[in-house]
Structure 1
Amino acid sequence: MPKMIPAQSAISVFDPDLTTCPAVACHLDFAEHAAEVPLHTHRKGQLIFARHGAVTCTADDQIWIVPANCGVWIPGGVQHSARATFNARLSYLFVEPGSANLPENCCTLSISPMIREMIGWLADQNTDYPLNNHAARLARVTLDELAEMPRERFNLPISSNSKIRMIADALTIEPSDRSTLATWAKRVAMSERSLARLMMRETGLTFGRWRQQLHLVVALRELASGATVQNVSVELGYESVNAFITMFKAALGSTPAQYRATLLTGTKRPIKD
């Protein structure tokens, strides 16, 4: 029986810190790479956005979902890891520190069609382009436009606290677990009141709001991977599809079916404040 050759990790494809150009880009098809990108860091800031499928990043004590038409911004020097859906096709934009007026903290950004195309063009250029040529000028315009993009809330605070992390890890693996706060308190050897205070202090959310946000993160990832609304509803433990649709629309301003349609058309989806 032939030996299985492990898929190549995405971080072995390209070292962005070998160039000092303001911005360089590359494309990755995760049919050709391992889905799991291990914890790592680099000098350059990194924008990760999905051209197809989705990727979940862990950085800065948060889980970030990167559905199609959005990107997660990770400043230089921040440790991060990622896991892509099997059908993910991603683009990376690496930004030299001080080259753009981008946030100092991790965040999710909308990606306009223009930025999408400019990053695509940069990905086809030499990564050591002269600083006075057309590629350099386009890189500067791309960074200026990126700095104007609105932020979106596709993140889940998980904290470095061991008890919160334990709950986050368990519910990420089994999001259909509908255990109450009291049950979770027993599992992590705390009183219900103490766990409620800890959750609010560490994440800024009540347990119920935090779990709903986790469900949104999982739902966006699964819908982007091609899962049906019915299957996502079951995976998240909802008693009915209608209950899931109601939660999704109340949070994001569109139904899961409408959201899936935007993945196919590339149109901007409505997001509620």
Structure 2
Amino acid sequence: MTSVTRKLEGRTVVVVGGGQTPGQTAGNGRAAAITYAEAGAKVLVGDRDLDAANDTVKAILDAGGEAWAATVDVTDESSIVELIGTARQMWNRIDVLHNNVGVSLAGGDAVITDIDAEAFNRVIDINLTGMVLTCKHVIPIMREQGGGVIISIGSLASMIDYPYIAYKTSKAGVVAMTQNIAIRHAPEGIRANAILPGLMDTPMAIENRVGLGGKTREQVIAERNSHVPLRGRMGTAWDVARAALFLASDDAQFITGVALPVDGGQSLAVG
């Protein structure tokens, strides 16, 4: 983590999925919430695990930032409505919505010939439908206030050879959703962009793969590192967070509808 200038001084941010699964490194949602707060934003951290959200908030408060925790289940529209309502009640505006929800193997994902319909629907509900519904309830607020920024975390898996059908399909949907919002709500001053993380050293990416096929943590990390052209090592959640901060800030005021790979050049490694 490196310090950032206070590009979001006084602005309000809702991070959906701002806790994280247990692990040895920072997750994308937690890193984003901390980075937004460090940049001067007031941050509402939503997560299905309130303890995980509170851990993120504690890190922000300990560093002198402003943050609050809330429970949200993105598979329950009423829970989303409650989260967004909390933010509006607190601030009367939402400047940035950061969508950071995603599940793959932990949701039962598989290759297409092995996928179970229930597992496929579960992954789609979490990864895509939840983001659609969150945007549904934030866009009217942003329209009323004269603009805002929506950042949704997709995945490089939507662009490359990735075996698990539900994750790939859902994350491709995140890009399509982002483009739809960007063009239809541009006249209202709402910018929408997606970030496509490549291979990242995050708890969700690593912990769910340790033990698969008997692989150790070191083997999982080494294998993932081997696919990254830039210095031969994975990125971190802080790389994603810094990209999100750029897109949320006025530095990106003329950027909308973009799907930005943060991947160490992996998307270029073809042939």
Larger radius of gyration: 1
- TM-score above 0.5, yes or no: no
Of Structure 1 and Structure 2, the greater strand share is in 1
Could you say which TM-score interval applies, normalised by the shorter chain?
under 0.3
TM-score when scaled to structure 1? 0.27
Greater helix percent: which structure?
Answer: 2
What is the TM-score normalised by the length of structure 2? Answer: 0.27
